[in-house]
């Protein structure tokens, strides 16, 4: 008889129910524990469990008390630490640096359940709770803070999170390959050097004696503090070495100590990704929670079908975290997951998303040919779609059709972002989308309408959105449906002044859009756009760029679109 599925333990009683008297790995997370493949702590926990390790989770501990981590005892191998699915500063603060009123990853949406810079604080807490423990820091907060970086919310340059946290090793990227190797190495009492997708802060002696001849030397933390231009160079060099096939190790000194960043881990294969997403998740919040977790409510009936993003948008951290090389799950794996969801008592009959960073890149391939494996470009889609990116709209079309024909499935919608330029290469995809997979409104992200600003974003020109809008409306008429695009625009992007924003205002007025949302620009750590914001210099040319900084100035561009902003509607 098959063993019943269980949550990973969060208490000593849950450990004993499994017959465990000790953990191998303790995962500490800033999010509530949702045992679902959309939550990083659950994925890493299940991956380690599948390798035979005993894994427990402590979610949102009291960071003022080291004993809040000791409820299940000291882990035999290591503590794995993550701030959660978002950078904790982004979880806490808006673009106006005001505290958010809700934390979507906390029961009841309560705020204040995790500290600022949670990865750093939790790591320090683990070191106090378990002296000498190996601390492994991961998640997107760690990924985007692995080098010296500009922190927008504190408005200052910070060192690598490795220096502040005292973590023994940092895992960047999605982490499955690295974390399995780390567990094997620690169990075998082997050193943690040269693991792809990791970074370490070397000691002073090791930094002085290490052979860095095959590494790319980044501007030091002190050089970046002394000269803002060095931050541009730091960002360019880091971005250039993100190819997992040919990327070189990076080295950045912080005083006499060096942060050594290994090349990225290779993306999972389709078979490996299928395995990760079909691990025995409960697909529910831990039963100890008495209030719903908003983030789970949003994603509980969505399915991740593709990983990675080749867009390279300068404001987005996905390329630095998931990487730009794509992996799609097999159709059979997706179908099995949907069948599992459909068998659950609370299933509504609606699949809210078949997606990932970019839904219509499902089935597409890059990183396959030799040209891709030596490419140092940040984007496969800008300034134009690379001929080495193998586009395959038919796979996405067939998957959507297959899923919507499954028993108990009434609707299948696409809520993830889609690349309009890619969709226009195969209008059949837009036809299928409009006819079957739009819930009345389709979210799209032109981001801006001024060509100079779009160039700085690495986004296609405004004509792409206009052409997509035209084709989408034609397909709606052909299908006999009234459905609307919901465009998202970014205000206050570097290079966007009141004058450039008038291009958006003019378009919105002429098209009679009622916008649901305008996103005020937030410079995420390590992104090219953050480097431009911090330095006031163009990423490509080094020439001065106008940057709107003060809250009063930032309000101006928001006000330009405010008359056209209305909650819950799109186009008249």
CATH code at position 226: 3.40.50.2300
Coil/strand/helix, residue 319: helix
Same-domain check for residues 431 and 333? yes
pLDDT at 48: 98
* 80, 27 contact by CB (below 8 A): yes
**CATH number for 384:** 3.30.750.210
Same-domain check for residues 359 and 256? no
What mean pLDDT do residues 224-243 have? 97
Instruction: Find, among 399, 460, 455, 392, the residue nearest to 425 by Cα.
Output: 392
Say if residue 568's pLDDT is above 90: no
pLDDT tens-place string over residues 14-70: 999 999 999 999 999 999 999 999 999 999 999 999 999 999 999 999 999 999 999
User: Is 67 within the bounds of a domain?
Assistant: yes
User: Is 282 within the bounds of a domain?
Assistant: no
User: Is 272 within the bounds of a domain?
Assistant: no
| Residue that terminates a domain, selected from 439, 467, 486 | 439
Which is higher by pLDDT, 511 or 122? Answer: 122
CA–CA dist 507, 19 (Å, integer):
64
User: Is 58 within the bounds of a domain?
Assistant: yes
Instruction: Find, among 314, 446, 448, 315, the residue nearest to 378 by Cα.
Output: 314
Say if residue 570's pLDDT is above 60: no
Say if residue 458's pLDDT is above 60: yes
Confidence of residue 562 (pLDDT cuts 50, 70, 90): low
pLDDT at 567: 36
pLDDT at 561: 78
Cα radius of gyration rounded to whole Å, the chain: 23
pLDDT tens-place string over residues 361-388: 999 999 999 999 999 999 999 999 999 9
pLDDT at 1: 36
In the Cβ-directed half-sphere of 380, how many Cα atoms lie within 13 Å?
A: 27
pLDDT tens-place string over residues 181-206: 999 999 999 999 999 999 999 999 99
SS3 content of the chain, % helix, strand, coil (to 5): 35, 15, 50
* 9, 20 contact by CB (below 8 A): yes
User: Is 278 within the bounds of a domain?
Assistant: no
What mean pLDDT do residues 436-446 have? 94
Same-domain check for residues 377 and 432? yes
User: Is 275 within the bounds of a domain?
Assistant: no
Same-domain check for residues 247 and 215? yes
Instruction: Tally the domains of the chain.
Output: 3
Same-domain check for residues 448 and 353? no
What's the mean pLDDT when you consider all of the chain?
95
Confidence of residue 563 (pLDDT cuts 50, 70, 90): low
First and final C-alpha spacing in the chain? 58
**CATH number for 465:** 3.30.750.200
Say if residue 515's pLDDT is above 90: no
Confidence of residue 565 (pLDDT cuts 50, 70, 90): low
Same-domain check for residues 468 and 418? no
Domain that holds residue 146: 12-261
Say if residue 2's pLDDT is above 50: no
Same-domain check for residues 561 and 450? yes
Say if residue 71's pLDDT is above 70: yes
Instruction: Find, among 250, 241, 244, 240, the residue nearest to 265 by Cα.
Output: 244
Confidence of residue 559 (pLDDT cuts 50, 70, 90): confident
Confidence of residue 564 (pLDDT cuts 50, 70, 90): low
pLDDT tens-place string over residues 253-274: 999 999 999 999 999 999 999 9
pLDDT at 3: 58
Same-domain check for residues 87 and 236? yes
Same-domain check for residues 432 and 447? no
pLDDT at 551: 84
pLDDT at 5: 85
Same-domain check for residues 247 and 365? no
| Residue that terminates a domain, selected from 261, 284, 313 | 261
User: Is 293 within the bounds of a domain?
Assistant: no
Same-domain check for residues 428 and 517? no
């Amino acid at each position: 008889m098959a063993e019943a599925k269980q949550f990973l333990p969060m208490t000593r009683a849950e450990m004993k129910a499994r017959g465990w008297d000790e953990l191998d790995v303790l995962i500490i997370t800033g999010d509530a524990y949702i045992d679902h493949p959309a939550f990083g702590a659950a994925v890493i926990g299940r991956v380690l469990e599948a390798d035979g390790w005993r894994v427990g989770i402590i979610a949102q501990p009291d960071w003022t008390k080291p004993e809040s981590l000791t409820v299940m005892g000291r882990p035999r191998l290591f503590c794995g630490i993550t701030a959660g699915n978002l950078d904790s500063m982004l979880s806490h603060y808006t673009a106006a640096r005001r505290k958010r009123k809700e934390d979507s990853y906390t029961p009841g949406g309560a705020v204040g359940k995790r500290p600022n810079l949670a990865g750093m604080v939790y790591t320090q807490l683990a070191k106090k709770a378990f002296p000498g423990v190996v601390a492994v820091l991961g998640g997107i907060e760690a990924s985007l803070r692995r080098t010296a970086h500009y922190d927008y919310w504190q408005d200052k340059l910070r060192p690598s999170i490795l220096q502040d946290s005292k973590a023994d090793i940092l895992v960047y990227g999605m982490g499955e390959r690295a974390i399995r190797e780390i567990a094997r190495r620690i169990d075998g009492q082997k050193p943690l050097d040269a693991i792809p997708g990791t970074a370490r802060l070397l000691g002073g002696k090791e930094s002085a004696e290490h052979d860095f001849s095959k590494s790319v030397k980044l501007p030091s933390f002190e050089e970046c503090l002394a000269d803002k231009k060095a931050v541009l160079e730091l960002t360019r060099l880091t971005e250039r070495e993100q190819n997992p096939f040919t990327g070189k190790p990076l080295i950045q000194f912080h005083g006499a100590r060096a942060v050594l960043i290994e090349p990225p881990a290779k993306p999972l294969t389709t078979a490996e990704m299928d395995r990760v997403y079909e691990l025995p998740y409960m697909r529910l919040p831990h039963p100890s929670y008495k209030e719903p977790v908003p983030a789970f409510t949003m994603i509980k009936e969505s399915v991740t079908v593709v990983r990675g993003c080749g867009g390279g948008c300068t404001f987005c951290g996905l390329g630095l975290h998931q990487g730009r090389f794509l992996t799609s799950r097999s159709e059979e794996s997706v179908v099995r997951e949907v069948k599992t969801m459909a068998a659950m008592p609370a299933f509504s009959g609606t699949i809210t998303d078949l997606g990932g960073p970019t839904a219509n890149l499902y089935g597409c391939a890059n990183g396959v040919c030799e040209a891709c494996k030596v490419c140092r470009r940040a984007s496969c889609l800008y300034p134009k779609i690379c001929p080495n990116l193998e586009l395959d709209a038919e796979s996405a079309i067939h998957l959507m059709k297959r899923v919507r024909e499954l028993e108990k499935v009434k609707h299948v919608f696409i809520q993830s972002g889609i690349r309009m330029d890619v969709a226009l290469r195969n209008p059949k995809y837009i036809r299928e989308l409009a006819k079957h997979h739009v819930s009345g409104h389709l979210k799209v992200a032109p981001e801006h309408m001024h060509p100079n600003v779009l160039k700085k974003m690495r986004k296609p020109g405004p004509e792409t959105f206009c052409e997509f809008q035209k084709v989408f409306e034609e397909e709606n008429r052909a299908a006999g449906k009234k459905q609307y695009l919901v465009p998202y625009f970014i205000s206050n992007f570097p290079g966007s002044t009141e004058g450039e924003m008038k291009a958006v205002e003019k378009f919105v007025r002429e098209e009679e859009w009622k916008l649901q949302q305008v996103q005020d620009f937030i410079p995420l750590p390590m992104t090219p756009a953050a480097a431009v914001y911090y330095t006031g210099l163009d990423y490509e040319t080094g020439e001065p760029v106008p940057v709107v900084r003060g809250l009063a100035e930032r309000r101006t561009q928001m006000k330009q679109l405010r008359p056209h902003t209305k909650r819950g509607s799109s186009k008249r």
